[in-house]
Chains A and B, each alone.
Chain A
Amino acid sequence: MPEKFVARLDEFKDGERRIVFVGDNEIGVFRHQGAFYAYSNFCLHQGGPACEGLTIAKVEERLRPDKTSMGLYFSESEMHFVCPWHGMEYDMKTGECVADRRKKLKKFQVVQKGDEVYVLA
């Protein structure tokens, strides 16, 4: 599988993303909490640029033992990225559409070579 250069490691900071073009394909590469994740940049909804929007923590509703609601919170552990066209949210670590986890963006492997980051496309 051909390797596509993404960025130099020291220029790709945590919390950032890059979009790389491989022929007609587009891949979004995220650096999140030290790890790299790469997904197709074509949203499963209407084909929007899925990797080019906000990254934002999952919203959770917490319940007490008696099932009453404590209200809404941002998750401490699950990060999402959001397609900017209509707001469809994807799990950063899996590429799953969080409203229906049977749907997933195509995932690509990211490799580090020395101080450079590549995606296998």
Chain B
Amino acid sequence: MDLIADRGRRVTVEELNTTRLLAHARKQAHKRGFDDILIVDVDAHHYENEHYDEFLPFMENDVLRQLVTVGRSTRQRPGIVPIPTGYQDMGGRVTRYPMRSSEKTDQGQLRDVQLGHRWMDAMGVDYSCLFPTGMLNIGLHPQTEMEVELCWAYNRWLTEKVMPEAGGRFFSLLCLPFADPDAALRQVETFGGRKHVGGFMITTVRANIGVHDNAYMKVYRAMEERGLAIAFHSGVNWSDIAFKNCNRFISVHALGFTWYNIVNCTNWVINGIGERFPGLPVIWMESGLAWVPFLMQRLDHEYMLRPSEAPLLKKKPSDYMRDMYYSSQPMEIQDYDAMETTFRMINAETQLLYSSDYPHWDFDLPSTVWDLPFLSERAKHNILGGTAARLFKLAPRNEKQKANLEKFGNLAAA
């Protein structure tokens, strides 16, 4: 196929082949001995929005299901989940976007499972926490009932069709319909005990999201009781009032992914949710790391002067933030001194979880963690997979991985 750049200039490329595209990742993995280390990617994506035909039939409500399944002929079914303006593919510069549909997969096994295994094998990743792509915008849906239905259908498809076919290498934090706390609770009760489910994920690009609202306490309690984790997965929304004055996607992307997690983390901490549910692991996803020291310093500074506005707290806001987990990508590797400080401030050795975000444009390879000059061996093993193995009870896939997990106290499942 031809990729078209400026003024009709064409670059001819064969079809996309993930294994070939990531051949250098495989070389890196081999050189660093990654196959001997259990590597868990806590944030990878598939394009569920290209498989609506497979999961919309799981919707419960007859009328709403009919509304979205009949009368639309295209595979991608535009108009089901809102799509914010953006240029993730950089005008085709990130070639796997325009070429995605050209990649060949075998009949008889789900396409997303095959594609996932290809990039995991290339990178040396053993387990991936699979998240959707289009459904990350479900919080922008104007209809609460449709959000509930679509989450339900996606969660059923994922737990009943996709993950069971993946040889045990995918797990997920399922989509929580946060607009409806009662429905969210029902989905935790229904899906929380299923195989390959490590918890639930809240998409943070939403018009209304008050994570401290009393209505959600029963949802958090249900997750805590079941030993599940809660994750906040960030995103972008150029139409948000906060970003209307940004004129370039780079600005919206740089700020948006951090902004939503900054707001939610602030509300979570200041309202003492960590005191109320100390056994509920909280993970902040896909915002990079640079925002965390910023927020710790801001909140600690204000809390010292205004503790009366956060009376549930028994320690500083940053101490609660150090109890939480952070996914690593996109790691802002620009200034090693700043990074080292960030790692110290978040207790990275026990709280940081490697994530690739593959196949999205700003993915990180495991080598981004492994090659950091200031990390101890223990920290490298923990961040790349040991901590996640403990959190999600993931078993080693070979004897050397088992020995490494044991060495650093991370063997939680045999």
Which residues of A come within 8 Å of B, CB atoms?
15, 42, 46-49, 53-57, 74, 82, 84-87, 89
- Pair A74/B6 contact, Cβ less than 8 Å: yes
Q: Does B64 contact A (CB under 8 A)?
A: no
Chain A positions within 8 Å of B23 at CB level: 49
Chain B positions within 8 Å of A54 at CB level: 3, 5, 11, 92-93, 95
Known: A84-B96, A86-B361. A49 touches B5 (CB 8 A): no
Q: Does B94 contact A (CB under 8 A)?
A: yes
Known: A53-B95, A55-B9. A46 touches B90 (CB 8 A): no
The one of B3, B92, B361, B368 that contacts A46, using a Cβ cutoff of 8 Å: B368
Beyond A42-B24, A47-B367, A84-B21, 14 additional contacts (C-beta under 8 Å) are A15-B9, A46-B364, A46-B365, A46-B367, A47-B24, A49-B24, A56-B5, A56-B93, A57-B5, A84-B93, A84-B96, A85-B94, A86-B362, A86-B363
CA distance A80 to B365 in the complex (A): 24
**Nearest chain-B residue to A41 (Cβ)?**
B24
Q: Does B264 contact A (CB under 8 A)?
A: no
B172-211 vs A, Cβ < 8 Å mask (1 yes, 0 no): 0000000000000000000000000000000000000000
- Pair A74/B7 contact, Cβ less than 8 Å: yes
**Nearest chain-A residue to B92 (Cβ)?**
A54
Interface of A: prevailing SS:
loop
- Pair B6/A56 contact, Cβ less than 8 Å: yes
Q: How many A-B residue pairs have CB under 8 A?
A: 56
Q: List 26 A-B contacts (CB under 8 A).
A: A42-B24, A46-B364, A46-B365, A47-B365, A47-B367, A49-B21, A49-B23, A53-B93, A54-B5, A54-B11, A54-B93, A54-B95, A55-B5, A56-B93, A57-B7, A74-B6, A82-B93, A84-B21, A84-B93, A84-B94, A84-B95, A85-B21, A86-B362, A86-B363, A87-B93, A87-B94
- Pair A87/B368 contact, Cβ less than 8 Å: no
List the 6 closest pairs (A to B, CB-CB), nearest first.
A56-B5, A84-B95, A87-B93, A74-B6, A82-B93, A87-B90
CA distance A87 to B24 in the complex (A): 16
The one of A47, A55, A74 that contacts B28, using a Cβ cutoff of 8 Å: A47
CA distance A8 to B92 in the complex (A): 30
B367-379 vs A, Cβ < 8 Å mask (1 yes, 0 no): 1100000000000
Chain A positions within 8 Å of B25 at CB level: 47
**Nearest chain-A residue to B247 (Cβ)?**
A69
A12 to nearest B CB, angstroms?
A: 14
Q: Which of A55, A57, A84 has the most CB of B within 10 A?
A: A84
B93 to nearest A CB, angstroms?
A: 4
CA distance A115 to B93 in the complex (A): 33
CA distance A44 to B91 in the complex (A): 21
Chain A positions within 8 Å of B6 at CB level: 56-57, 74
- Pair B24/A48 contact, Cβ less than 8 Å: yes
CA distance A56 to B406 in the complex (A): 50
Q: Which of B21, B93, B365 has the most CB of A within 10 A?
A: B93
B95 to nearest A CB, angstroms?
A: 4
Q: Which of A47, A55, A74, A85 has the most CB of B within 10 A?
A: A85
Chain A positions within 8 Å of B90 at CB level: 87
CA distance A86 to B25 in the complex (A): 13
Chain A positions within 8 Å of B94 at CB level: 84-87
Chain A positions within 8 Å of B27 at CB level: 47
**Nearest chain-A residue to B330 (Cβ)?**
A86
**Nearest chain-B residue to A56 (Cβ)?**
B5
CA distance A74 to B7 in the complex (A): 9
A37 to nearest B CB, angstroms?
A: 16
Chain A positions within 8 Å of B92 at CB level: 54
CA distance A53 to B361 in the complex (A): 14
B25 to nearest A CB, angstroms?
A: 8
A34 to nearest B CB, angstroms?
A: 16
Q: Which of B332-358 contact A (CB under 8 A)?
A: none
CA distance A104 to B27 in the complex (A): 22
CA distance A85 to B92 in the complex (A): 11
Chain B positions within 8 Å of A53 at CB level: 11, 93, 95
Chain A positions within 8 Å of B367 at CB level: 46-47
Chain A positions within 8 Å of B95 at CB level: 53-54, 84
Q: Which of B1-30 contact A (CB under 8 A)?
A: 3, 5-7, 9, 11, 21, 23-25, 27-28
B86 to nearest A CB, angstroms?
A: 14
CA distance A55 to B13 in the complex (A): 12
